[in-house]
Amino acid sequence: MVSFNLFNLLAWRSLILRMIVLFVFIHKAGSAQQHDILLKGGHLIDPKNNIDALMDVAISNGKIAQVAANISESTAKKTINVSGLYVIPGIIDMHVHVFQGTDAYSTSVANSSRSQQADAFSFRSGVTTMVDAGTSGLRNFRTFKAQSIDKSQTRILAFLNVVGNGMIGRFQEQDVTDMNPEMNPYMIKKLFPEILVGIKSAHYWGDFTSVDKAIESGKLADVPIMVDFGEHTPTNSIESLFLKHFRPGDIFTHTYSEISSGRESIVDEKTKILKPFILEAQRRGVIFDVGHGGGAFSWSQAIPSFKQGFLPDVISSDLHDLSMNAGMKDMTNVMSKFLALGMELKDVIERSTWAPAKVINRSDLGHLSIGAEADLAVFNLREGKFGFTDVRRVSVQGSKKLEAELTLRAGKIMWDLNGISGEPWKN
């Protein structure tokens, strides 16, 4: 009887030891997988951190956890093979119109179908942050926030229009009495500092009143202004705008538009010579934004500019109903146009990520530093014969085209073109 009890005791002891060993093994195995997602084998381009090399990126709890060569797959719950692809920070499209609504007024961009839904155009183009360019003003920003910003998975930031009613129509944008340099800064600094990044002046037909009201607001709020200097007859002087009104850091959008659009062009349309004050303005700190749109990008301006050494500071789409199916299409198409012009891939990426982040004073965005929110895009750089059309339906041929394969927003997979993050089918 004693020996039987001893046998049972030894058996129980052996079982307990085995359970302890198994528990330790499982615990160690689980703790080894400290990353949620590992992007493995891609070519990382992160301009802020001066990285242009083969690097793996590990993501944990929606943040960048590790960036290094050859991170072990055993550290991650899910590994995605991105060999042969480019891994970059999530694109920041600094000029869009996404205040979508039901206003039927024909020229209204605010709260209308002329603005587009952010999520419908962002992730499929590698975009994780969109910056609405003054579609709303202080009177209708809360509506914009409730209808669009709060319901979007895309991060939406915004320039506040200098006009209180925003872009509700061309005539309303001329209303000087609705330009409030005291309340605009209050909205930006006190009420919505996490969303509002600047002031927009647009479509004003008169002198510099709208610009100067915007600058007054910008000074009080300590933010940049963006100016759409269109539809003047005769055109206002961009030399005066750049050298007498703008502060360093203020933004000129629609850089490559022709004079026929109602804006003075940066390249003389007769001589094809870049106006000498353009490079001077850029050296002074004026920010030149592409703002492609439906009528503001012409090869007749872009090609001579490049040949004479002038490059934009920021690449953006100016997304709206008249640009989405025209020459603009989406951010990948706009970025690819600059590859066709001869810009290096890393420079195209910088002007679409870290450069706009700096312009809008959001240093938390546009890079893949450890601890940053895991907004990433994975691109395929296709090679072949591609055509790129400007707003006048003039085409230029290029040999490279960017294509978004995978987009992650805060560590969550939002777009997967070819199922590279999926589990293979098992019959």
User: Residue 154: what pLDDT?
Assistant: 98
pLDDT averaged over consecutive 10-residue blocks of the chain (427 residues)? 52 60 46 86 98 98 97 96 98 97 78 94 98 97 97 98 90 87 96 98 89 97 93 83 97 92 87 97 98 95 97 97 94 98 98 98 98 98 97 96 98 98 91
Q: For residue 108, is it within any domain?
A: yes
Do the Cβ atoms of 7 and 13 come closer than 8 Å? no
Q: In DSSP terms, which residues pair with 199 in a beta bridge?
A: 160, 225
DSSP structure class, residue 177: G
The strand pair at 86-89 and 43-46 is best described as parallel
Q: For residue 3, is it within any domain?
A: no
Q: State the total domains in the chain.
A: 1
User: Residue 33: what pLDDT?
Assistant: 75
Q: For residue 328, is it within any domain?
A: yes
pLDDT tens per residue across span 74-105: 999 999 999 999 999 999 999 999 999 987 66
Q: For residue 325, is it within any domain?
A: yes
- Concatenating the DSSP letter of every residue in 12-78 gives HHHHHHHHHHHHHHHHHHHHH--EEEEEES-EEEEGGGTEEEE-EEEEETTEEEEEESS--GGGEEE
Q: For residue 220, is it within any domain?
A: yes
Do the Cβ atoms of 335 and 93 come closer than 8 Å? no
Q: For residue 70, is it within any domain?
A: no
Q: Is 174 exposed, middle or buried (0-12, 13-18, 19+ CB in 10 A)?
A: middle
> Sign of the C-alpha dihedral, residues 381, 386, 389, 394?
positive
Do the Cβ atoms of 34 and 370 come closer than 8 Å? no
Other beta carbons within 10 angstroms of residue 239's beta carbon come to: 15
User: Residue 169: what pLDDT?
Assistant: 76
pLDDT tens per residue across span 373-426: 999 999 999 999 999 999 999 999 999 999 999 999 999 999 999 999 999 998
Give dist(CA 290, CA 225) in Å, integer: 15
Do the Cβ atoms of 90 and 377 come closer than 8 Å? yes
Note down the domain range covering 287: 91-368
Q: Is 413 exposed, middle or buried (0-12, 13-18, 19+ CB in 10 A)?
A: middle
Q: For residue 374, is it within any domain?
A: no
Query: Tokens for 282?
Result: 């850029």
Residues of the chain with pLDDT > 70, as a percent, come to 91
Q: For residue 52, is it within any domain?
A: no
Do the Cβ atoms of 91 and 353 come closer than 8 Å? yes
**Residue 309, domain CATH:** 3.20.20.140
Q: Taking the CA atoms of the chain, what radius of gyration do you get in angstroms?
A: 26
Q: Which residues of 306-330 are buried (b: 16+ CB within 10 A; e: fewer)?
A: beeebbbbbbbbbbbbbbeebbbbb
